[in-house]
Chain A
Amino acid sequence: MNTPAGKPPLDRTTLIDLGFIDARAKVLDIAAFLDRLDRAPGTDAPTDFRVEAIRAALSIALDASPTRVERILKSWSDPTTEPVSHADGKAARGAHPQHKA
Chain B
Amino acid sequence: MAKPRVEPTHNTRHENFYATQIDSKNITHSLFQTHHIRKPLSDSHANHMYIDPHIHMVSRTTDDYARMAAAGCVAVTEPAFWAGFDRSSAAGFHDYFRQLTESEPRRAAAYGIAHHAWICINPKEAEDHGFAREVMSMIPDFLSRPNVLGVGEIGLNRNSKTELAVFEEHLEIAARHNSLVLIHTPHLEDKLKGTRLILDAIAAHGKINPARILVDHVEEHTVRMVLERGMWAGMTLYPDTKCTAARAVDIMEMHGTERIWINSAGDWGHSDPLAVPKAVVTMRARGHTAADIHKISFDNPRAFLSQSGNFSVNAPRPTHS
Question: Are B285 and A18 in contact (CB-based, < 8 A)?
Answer: yes
Tell me the minimal C-beta distance from B153 to chain A in angstroms.
16
- A78 to B156, alpha carbons, bound, how many Å? 14
**A47 on the interface (CB 8 Å rule)?**
no
Cross-chain contact A92 with B163 (CB below 8 angstroms): no
Is B187 within 8 A of A18, CB to CB?
no
Residues B159 and A96 in contact, CB atoms below 8 Å apart: no
Query: In the complex, what distance in Å separates the CA atom of A77 from the CA atom of B186?
Result: 11
Q: Is A65 an interface position by the 8 A CB rule?
A: no
- Majority secondary structure of chain A interface residues (helix, strand, loop or mixed): loop
A83 interface contact, C-beta 8 A: yes
Question: Using a Cβ cutoff of 8 Å, how many contacts connect chains A and B?
Answer: 113
A86 and B187 contact, Cβ closer than 8 Å, known pairs A18-B36, A18-B285, A69-B220: no
Whether A5 contacts B188 by the Cβ 8 Å rule is no
With an 8 Å Cβ cutoff, the count of chain B residues facing the other chain is 44
Cα A86 to Cα B186 in complex, Å, equals 15
Q: Which of B248-271 contact A (CB under 8 A)?
A: 250, 252-257
Are B221's CB and A74's CB within 8 A?
A: yes
Cβ contacts under 8 Å, A6 to chain B: 253-254
- For B162, list chain A residues within 8 Å (CB): 86-87
A5 to B258, CA, bound (A): 12
Interface string of B273-298 (1 = CB under 8 A from A): 00000000000011111011000000
Q: Given A17-B36, A19-B35, are A1 and B193 neighbors across the interface (CB < 8 Å)?
A: no
| B292 nearest CB neighbor, chain A only | A1
Residue numbers in A under 8 Å from B253 (CB-CB): 1, 3, 6-9
List the B side residues contacting A2 at CB < 8 Å.
289, 291-292
B residues with CB within 8 A of A:
13-14, 35-36, 124, 127, 157-164, 186-193, 196-197, 219-221, 241, 246-247, 250, 252-257, 285-289, 291-292
| 27 A-B contacts (beta carbon < 8 Å) | A1-B253, A1-B256, A1-B288, A2-B292, A3-B253, A8-B287, A9-B287, A10-B286, A18-B285, A18-B286, A21-B13, A22-B35, A70-B220, A74-B192, A76-B189, A77-B191, A78-B159, A83-B159, A83-B164, A86-B161, A88-B158, A90-B158, A92-B188, A93-B188, A93-B189, A94-B241, A95-B189
A binding-site residues for B, Cβ under 8 Å: 1-3, 5-10, 14-15, 17-22, 67, 69-70, 73-74, 76-81, 83-96, 99
